[in-house]
Structure 1
């Protein structure tokens, strides 16, 4: 397979935007680098910055807590390239939101035959309960995690879209903080775009989609609990945003309104940044055996008294069987050509086709 080397070009030279970093790395004693790696691992372990990968039992450690991976060699993306990538990501997320609104309302894309109707309506992630439900600003995916890869010439392609309960941003933030702590000199010789304001931006966006008429919304982060693989991130984001971290048992619904139990009595909740899958959100509608959700939550949502980020039913837009149609969606909804394309060469219409495509990237 022809991999793209981020730091070196085809002739073995260092790419221009990596030159200063490469010079720093070459001048850094190996002992110092090794010592700093160990320091990072110790700090991550003390703080509890870990994650678990369920179902990976190949080494007998399936579900075991692991330290966040930390690499001192950063991925340097020049500003012009980042602007192009950002524009492509914005276009893609805008398109996926338009698709979600459409399939839960008029279903024009299905009527036009751009996507076979059964591909959507029979999808396990399609939620008929969301038909006709209007969400604030027509935004279904408030937070999106779009995985991108480079091909051999360096062009970006979208590997997959994550719209259900995207996770991982906390690890990026902690990696950046660790890099600044261990190697502050790198930030004096490079103009590095800041990322530490992400929690502030997230809170701003969540408050902006509060139900109509709510001027000072109460935002909470809904977690499945301490045994979830991304629990560190749930606690981290709640703490950084200055909002409450709650479990389903901390919330209740009365008169189609969501409330939180507090030591001062009940308090209305207006926006829920949920890190709980659809199936477990409301046992009166989805899985009746769920202990993670809130009874009556969907009714409150349909009544427009609470906003869920992301919306129920977003999973159909990031399903592997829908992925091949996203470039066509861009053309259908925006009348534009995709700025970012799917992985190239092979046309795939089923998940198993996608797996074949990824195995044969140029």
Structure 2
């Protein structure tokens, strides 16, 4: 009898279906909107974000699985594909393996028949081929390697976009400051080696902080705003205020939310240990995915509790425009066309 797929494999299967349903046959909606006054703005697909955030709730996934924070990574990468960036260029990809260098993707497309099937099978192995594909992206900063959650990079450009995500659903007073302080140091480390890369930070926060610890909420929001104003840190910061039912608990008390794995294993983040995830790529029955999609808990995004400077729409617009502005006109042509032809 086959083993039961892990929580992480189940989450990936549901995440992938949500993103695929939102982009039938790989065709994404254009996120750029032209207002009546001629202003062009970015409009994120928040319904997809709400569904993705419901997945860890449905699976009752603890922080140690990486699934709660992973929902943010998947959404940001999905938005980059909506913006017109190449599907293989935005990591995590919409299919396994999640990190696939462009050169390998091009090779796979160029091969035919048996050769292509053999390579595709090797790449899709649940245990990543070390040095070829990966379950996570480690990027060298000025002083140390850092696991980065959402990445756009290629050998001939270096990193073009680096986005770190954090999530916190409980224990706000105990850990909120630590998460931001860590992120500030990570920003300086990455920015000093990759000054042209668009560097961003996305913080997911459960809305209960507004009533349970309002002073901490005001302090944290103020700190996040300041984090995006530093000349040598992040180019943009976003706050996603997540609201869901009191009867649902993503994070067990005392198991505070962090990013997608580097706090669980600092040797992985530093590039000193193997980052393979043996449960990646496990097959999940379509019926189980359908059942999950039908039972996803309701999640809302509290835009009203987020200042304009931290709104996700502003964040995505700044990051995407920065990538486009920092590259020649023959790069990212689809992304440029989408921006120049808004809805």
With normalisation by structure 1, the TM-score equals 0.27
Structure whose CA Rg is larger = 1
RCO higher in 1 or 2 (8 Å CA, sep ≥ 6)? Answer: 2
